[in-house]
Amino acid sequence: MMEWHTSWYILPAAFALDIMLGDPRFLPHPVRWMGLAIERLEPPLRRIRIDLTFSGALLAAVLILGTWLLAFLVLATAHRVHPLFKVVLEVILIYYCISIRSLDDAAMEVKQCLQQNKLQAAREKVAMIVGRDINNYKEEGLARATVETVAENLVDGVTAPLFFAAIGGAPLALAYKMTNTLDSMVGYKNQAYQQFGKASARIDDLLNFIPARFSVPVIALAAQILSGCGERALKTAVCEGANHASPNAGYAEAAFAGALALKLNGPNYYNGKFVDKPYIGVRFGQTSPGHIKKACDIMILSSFLWLLAVWGARLALW
């Protein structure tokens, strides 16, 4: 009889695959298909004569549950072909859900541009990984935005996917990824998506609640190992983690702010609209390009420590 829990070697294998390969552009990626599914399904659901909040909730329910069911059926079919085929496929699917290497590569490309004084090239690269308006950003702003992205995406791209993969294998990890993709595409607090994207944003907040907070001690431990700043990272996260528009994103950012002694977050423009967000790490200094590498080091070590944590928990519980 087939066992649906994740085998002990699948998480480390998926993790190793991400470290080695990252996200090659020539390979198909489920997240791109998720984005396409959202784009295709949104217009007809908007045309239905029902409340936009409800139609947005319907979009989220259909795509999140559909993603889980499709992944489950694909793995079940693979198991019928051969159990080893199912194992290989699950490793690949979980690998697609995590993004350590690609996050490090993207951040380091920005650092390289800044060190070469190629500000416009750096702006173009930062624009690919953040949602704010960065056209007028100088070196400090671009470096700060990159560090913030590394911190926030540690949760979205590592902590949460591995957490859900450990609980429910590739189907649950992919369902989380669909939730995260929905939030990034329709979870905006603007006129177009205030109502339609509300359910997607709330589900994403709910699913990230535990991983975001569990990431704090892991980041603090990584900071302690790398630079002896674990206590400062932990204190900053506890004291200032709630100083963010998101109920979750501020905790990882605050831990990074404490670890690197940086002033992060703060007011920004989004699609031309000023958003007055509070600062995190208010007593610390400004960001420089050199902090990007340090942030990436913390992110990579935190990812490895988190893998050990969820892997150990999985072995203990199963």
Beta bridge partners of 270: 273
DSSP string, 253-296: HHHHHHHHTB-EE--EEETTEEE-PPEESTTSB---HHHHHHHH
Q: What is the pLDDT of residues 22-56, one digit of tens each?
A: 988 777 789 899 999 999 999 999 998 889 999 99
Q: Are the CB atoms for 101 and 23 separated by under 8 Å?
A: yes
Contacts with 95 (C-beta within 8 Å, 6 or more apart), sequence order:
14, 15, 17, 18, 21
Q: What is the pLDDT of residues 158-201, one digit of tens each?
A: 999 999 999 999 999 999 999 999 999 998 877 788 899 999 99
For residue 114, the tally of other CB atoms under 10 A from its CB is 24
Q: Is the pTM for the entire model greater than 0.75?
A: yes
What is the H or E stretch that residue 269 is in? strand 268-270
pLDDT of residue 6: 56
> Is the pLDDT confidence value at 144 over 80?
yes
Least confident range of 52-61, 84-93, 227-236, 309-318? 309-318
> Is the pLDDT confidence value at 270 over 90?
no
